[in-house]
Amino acid sequence: MGLGLLRDGINEVIATTYQNAAPMGIICRHGEARMVVYRGSHTAGHIEDDGWVVANFIFDPVLYVRTAFEDLPADYFTGEHAGGIPVQRLTGAEAWAAYSAVIERKTNEALIVSLTLLREEIIAPVVHPVNRGFNSIIEATVHATRVVRSDDETLQRLIRHYARLVKRCGGDRELEALSLLFGYLGIPEKS
Ligand SMILES: Cc1cc2nc3c(=O)[nH]c(=O)nc-3n(C[C@H](O)[C@H](O)[C@H](O)COP(=O)(O)O)c2cc1C
């Protein structure tokens, strides 16, 4: 089974499950796709209950920040069929890939989930010039979701570092994403 739209390494997608979206890494090694999902997240619960997940390819930095911290309204989701089951993708996705998701292993903290491709579709092929501001939003948001678990000075330093890069290299959408992220973290705008 090929990886389809995913590539070797870790793909930072926005994963949708039933009426839920969150940034998640899909790990592709040796032609196999897996996720490691923290228990307690909505994504983990829905995968346990429903056995499917959709990887959404979308390059809106605001959506990465927003879905890391809150839920989206119903109209952000579009129903599809994949391998005979109803799934949901993000309405704005440029491409999406639906997987059946089987729990391979559980640890105290996480589910290790094995993915098998059911269906994928490219809706709007768009070129994304490399932008360090966008990449830095992804980095800052990863660290921000860790702050929520255990805050420390190192995480705060990393977030400030990536915030500087966003301000230097990002466009309007990255700046909007950064101010949203600062809002979630309770960091004053001017810092
Ligand atoms: C780029 C990025 C990648 C992430 N990858 C994962 C991951 O692989 N597994 C995980 O459990 N959480 C990951 N997170 C954190 C979750 O997105 C975060 O905990 C989120 O609140 C979970 O939302 P949910 O409760 O709606 O599932 C990632 C966050 C970001 C920003």
Q: Domain 9-122 belongs to what architecture?
A: Roll (2.30)
Q: Which residue, judged by its Cα, is nearest atom 6 of ligand 1? A: 24
Stretch 48-73: mean pLDDT? 97
pLDDT tier at 96 (50, 70, 90 boundaries)?
Answer: very high
Whole-angstrom distance, CA of residue 47 vs CA of residue 52? 6
Residues with CB under 6 A from ligand 1: 12, 20, 22-25, 35-38, 41-43, 64, 68, 138, 141-142, 145
Per-residue pLDDT tens over the stretch 110-163: 999 999 999 999 999 899 999 999 999 999 999 999 988 787 899 999 999 999
Tell how far the Cα of 125 is from the centroid of ligand 1, in angstroms: 25
Across-strand partners of 103?
A: 113
DSSP 94-119: SEEEEEEEEEEEE-SSEEEEEEEEEE
**Domain 132-185 CATH class label:** mainly alpha
Q: Are 137 and 64 in contact (CB under 8 A)?
A: yes
Tell me the percentage of the chain whose pLDDT exceeds 90: 92
Residue 101 has pLDDT above 80, yes or no: yes
Which of 12, 37, 41 should be mutated for ligand 1, with most atoms under 8 A from CB?
Answer: 41
Question: Domain locations in the chain?
Answer: 9-122, 132-185
Mean pLDDT of 4-10: 94
| Listed residue (14, 157, 39, 176) closest to 95, CA to CA | 14
Residue 190 has a pLDDT of 64
Does the pLDDT value for residue 69 go beyond 70? yes
The answer to whether 25 and 138 have CB atoms below 8 angstroms apart is: no
Distance 156 CA to ligand 1 centre (A): 18
pLDDT at residue 38 in the model: 96
